[in-house]
Amino acid sequence: MDFTEDDDLRTVRRAVAELAAGFDGEYWERHDREHAFPWEFYKTFADAGWLGISISEEYGGGGLGVAAAGIMLETLAASGGAMNACTPMHLGMFGMNVVAKHGSEQMRRETLSRVATGELHACFGVTEPDAGTDTSRISTRADRDGDGYVVNGRKVWISKAGESEVIVLAVRTAPRRDDAPMHGISILLVDMATPGIEVRPIPKMGRNAVASNEVSFDDVRVPASALVGTEHEGFRVLLDGLNPERILIAHEALGIGRASVDAAVRYAGERTVFGRPIGQNQGIAFPLAEATARLDAAELVCRKAAWLYDNGHPCAREANTAKYLAADAGFFAADRAMQTFGGMGYAEEYGIPRYFREARLMKIAPVSQELVLAYIAQNVLGLPKSY
């Protein structure tokens, strides 16, 4: 495996960086503060054709895969946009990847080209208040009714639901069985304009340019044609959303870490205390060097995970490990950046609090650090299940 960047990936990084440079820290601070969706930014990247980077060329996309999408999102995060820049785009990438891999031909033709142009916004609906990351315990139901389904239930932390035309929705079409807990889950592509759907934003700590929402479904009628993949076997379908999600989020964590280190290094070179730049002190320099080393190490696992997925190999171990290491490295970098700035690191002026808040989120979502370790312990090391 060669994880060095080829010409295509270098072109992606360079072009995305040039376009992102038009949106400075003040832009992102303002949109975060005002809870305003970054429409100008989104339209700029849509018009330039970047939203379909991982969609097949057959459907109007770039056909470059998860590795290129990861580079793109890492570069956006590192530009200073952090998660506020990435979330408007990544949901269409990993959420609609489920449709690209398992949807009917009609479903792909009706949706993917519109995702690629930025016309169609999509959200990803899995998490529930009483299930959390135990997907086998979801209780949102889709009951058969004639030639379709009737959906009832509630999802939480659904990013971009208010802007989205469709939701990739995980539901139960059969009761949970202890001997096969994932059986009975199905995936539906649901029109968000369907009567019975209600969206309510959740007040939260950070990444406020993109709302996270509670979405409720009250006798929502969905046609049978909305089924993605095979009924009752939706968890296998869902993996083509979950593994890319972990890989892409990991790249975003890398980008936030890089932005944090860059800001801290600039400040350490400019800020003078006791007659010398603070960056001359090992107490400042060494933590930033360590942050860089951690980011470099995490980057290699991110690249490996993306390569494995794009080449059709199993990648759950690597996707989870990449998310774990990159989230840890990204937050360490943001924390050390805040320490480098000292009191000014607590001021919104320099953007460090925003990096800190968003990097901290990466240790919780889309899967907690603890559950990653539980997965590795059980599925890689063969230890008894701990939960």
Q: Which domains does the chain have, with CATH numbers?
A: 7-117 (1.10.540.10), 122-232 (2.40.110.10), 236-380 (1.20.140.10)
Look at residue 3 and tell me whether its pLDDT is greater than 80.
no
pLDDT band at residue 257 using 50, 70 and 90 as cut-offs: very high
Q: Are 254 and 77 in contact (CB under 8 A)?
A: yes
Look at residue 74 and tell me whether its pLDDT is greater than 90.
yes
pLDDT score of 224? 97
Look at residue 4 and tell me whether its pLDDT is greater than 90.
no
Sole residue written with tokens 């946009």: 81
Look at residue 7 and tell me whether its pLDDT is greater than 90.
no
pLDDT score of 291? 98
Question: Choosing from 74, 128, 163, 245, which is the catalytic residue?
Answer: 245
Look at residue 36 and tell me whether its pLDDT is greater than 80.
yes
Cα gap 325→338, rounded to integer Å: 20
pLDDT tens digits, 346-383: 999 899 999 999 999 999 999 999 999 999 999 999 99
pLDDT band at residue 2 using 50, 70 and 90 as cut-offs: low
pLDDT tens digits, 135-170: 999 999 999 999 999 999 999 999 999 999 999 999
pLDDT tens digits, 79-138: 999 999 999 999 888 889 999 999 999 999 999 999 999 999 999 999 999 987 889 999
pLDDT band at residue 5 using 50, 70 and 90 as cut-offs: confident
Look at residue 17 and tell me whether its pLDDT is greater than 70.
yes
Average pLDDT of span 244-253: 97
Amino acid at 153: G
Name the percent of the chain lying above pLDDT 90.
Answer: 94
Cα gap 370→299, rounded to integer Å: 20
Look at residue 289 and tell me whether its pLDDT is greater than 70.
yes
Q: Which of 97, 101, 48 is nearest to 72 (CA)?
A: 48
Q: Are 238 and 172 in contact (CB under 8 A)?
A: no
Average pLDDT of span 321-325: 98
Q: What are phi and psi of 366, to 5 degrees?
A: -80, -5
pLDDT score of 146? 93
Q: Which of 214, 197, 239, 196 is nearest to 159 (CA)?
A: 214
- Is 245 part of the annotated catalytic residue set? yes
Cα gap 260→362, rounded to integer Å: 14
Average pLDDT of span 53-61: 94
- Mean of the per-residue pLDDT values for the chain? 96
